Chain A
Amino acid sequence: MTEELIIAGFGGQGVLSMGKILAYSGIMQDQEVSWLPSYGPEMRGGTANVSVIISDERISSPVLQFFDTAIILNQQSLDKFQEAVKPGGVLLYDPNGITHLPTRKDIKIYTIEGAKEASALKNSKTFNMIVLGAYLKLKPIVKMENVIKGLKKSLPERHHNLIPMNEEAIKVGMDKVKQVS
């Protein structure tokens, strides 16, 4: 199994940490992982993205042009990465703020109302975990118990009391993901 994934959105949406939690979850089940962020000036107020690979085999290139899955959290990223999804691959996006909808016909497209569900949970910080939940429903590549272990590894200990809330948010995401085409 190899999953090649890109997560893209605004800086501050939790794009990089979502990738990190996934990568740690992969390590928890003895898989190979790589996590490659965009870094530099484009992160400040602009777009942020991270490529994550989780595989049973040694990972060759951490740099990719095409992905099995793209998780898209703003319009710029949708415009930039829609074409980067492999034919037959998955595009998951939050429709909040999206005015130009995806046009690909050869991929599976799903939505998750991450921003809306986070405000329903009265905690905007759960946004990225809701999106992660939606992704894991579509691609159950890591087990829930390993995601919780991954959370423990990537959160500082003083924030471990927030883990149950994150778990709840992941479950909301799993429930609320919708297929568009």
Chain B
Amino acid sequence: MEEIKLMKGNEAIAEALIRAGADAYFGYPITPQSEILEYLMTEEPYKRTGMVVLQAESEIAAINMVYGAGACGKKVMTSSSSPGISLKQEGISYIAGSEIPCLIVNVVRGGPGLGTIQPSQSDYFQSVKGGGHGDYRLIVLAPASVQEMADFVQLSFDMAFKYRNPVLILSDGLIGQMMEKVILPPQQERLTDEEVEKRYGSWATVGKKAGRERNIITSLELKSERQEKHNHKLQAKYREIEKNEVRFEKINCENADYLLVAFGSSARICQKTIQLGKAKGINIGLIRPITLWPFPSEEINKAADKVKGILTVEMNAGQMVEDVRLAVNGKRKVEHFGRYGGMIPSPDEVLTALEQKLIGG
């Protein structure tokens, strides 16, 4: 049954989590994502589906609860905002090393440090280039609407379990706090241990049965030869994800003279810039990476051939622009326009930046 509601992005993620048949949420409040925990506490899903909701004593505790529950094959999520996500990085690295499926949500605010509570996209590097230590990758999804905040929850769990890999939803204070119309997915049943094993294989620590080896969850391997083998296995998995999971949206790219590349809320702002450009006779297209890792490099490379110049628009001092430049590999001019510290660029500002940086004058 489809249900249309007016919800904040944070509330939509929380409701979608219950409906995805999640087993648990562990979190710690921080603006601008506190509505996730608040919504879950108000909805009391432990009565609806048996899902656990727990406010941990700290972010570090919360991510380690995710590690533990995830190791048992449970569908679990944690969420925070930038400073809190920094605290979680050790746990995230362990989870990636141990190949535990889980969902981490970052509703980004301006930094560095405690920074501001206003929206930002300055955690792009942290999300797609590691964040924690070691050679690992998170699958990173960037929602650009409240609807996608809801839709990406189930998608994240599907990918997390398919690849036994943590997935991060990289949102920001704007999408988190904004209300839009959202169509909620139907309620899914929570899975039993047996169903998890049947769908995703026997790897979780749910109690050893006779006739099989012990399932061991660890990120520690003191023998370098074995650790390298494990690294090879992870890298092979990452190549597989790069092959299968690249997602992006193309808007007005047919016959565009200039290309914008933007993700999340910046991509929404750029859509208005396209309209403003049209009114001035400037034909602008937009590629919106939906997965920030794996990154739609190939698509951006192809699109570069058809345009005179490329501008990335980010609420940071220039992070994704590096990946766009790598993708384009020098064949076109790639410029960056950003506002940061919690400031949000307006569609008019973006158009002015495009005119100055790409057209000249």
Contacts and interface: CB of A to CB of B under 8 A. Distances in A.
Given A40-B31, A64-B347, A35 B272 contact: no
A63 B179 CA distance: 12
B177 A36 contact: yes
* A contact residues, range: 20 to 34
Given A23-B6, A60-B268, A63-B347, A36 B117 contact: no
A35 B6 contact: yes
Contacts of B31: 39-40
A31 B169 CA distance: 28
Given A23-B6, A24-B6, A40-B117, A35 B347 contact: no
B265 interface: yes
Contacts of B348: 65-66
Given A39-B32, A40-B118, A62 B178 contact: yes
A63 B350 CA distance: 12
Interface in A20-55: 20, 23-24, 27, 32-37, 39-41
A155 B148 CA distance: 26
B117 A62 contact: no
Interface string B86-122: 0000000000000000000000000000000110000
Sort A-B residue pairs by CB-CB distance and give the 9 closest, nearest first. Answer: A60-B271, A61-B272, A65-B346, A35-B179, A60-B272, A61-B269, A36-B178, A40-B117, A65-B348
A153 interface: yes
Interface of B: 4, 6, 31-32, 117-118, 173-174, 177-181, 265, 268-275, 344-349
B6 A60 contact: no
A130 B349 CA distance: 35
Given A27-B6, A40-B118, A61-B272, A34 B177 contact: no
B349 A65 contact: yes
A39 B177 contact: yes
B180 A63 contact: no
Contacts of A41: 117
Contact of B347 (A27, A61, A153): A61
A62 B181 contact: no
Contacts, number: 76
Contacts of B117: 39-41
Nearest to A153: B6
Contacts of A154: 6
A62 B174 contact: yes
A59 B347 CA distance: 13
Given A61-B268, A63-B268, A20 B6 contact: yes
Contacts of A27: 4, 6, 181
B268 A32 contact: no
B230 to A, nearest CB: 44
Contacts of A39: 31-32, 117, 173, 177
Contact of B271 (A20, A33, A36, A61): A61
Contacts of A34: 178-180
A53 to B, nearest CB: 10
A34 B182 CA distance: 11
A20 B344 CA distance: 22
B184 to A, nearest CB: 13
A40 B33 CA distance: 12
B6 A64 contact: no
Contacts of B270: 61
A27 B7 CA distance: 12
Contacts of A62: 174, 178, 180, 265, 268
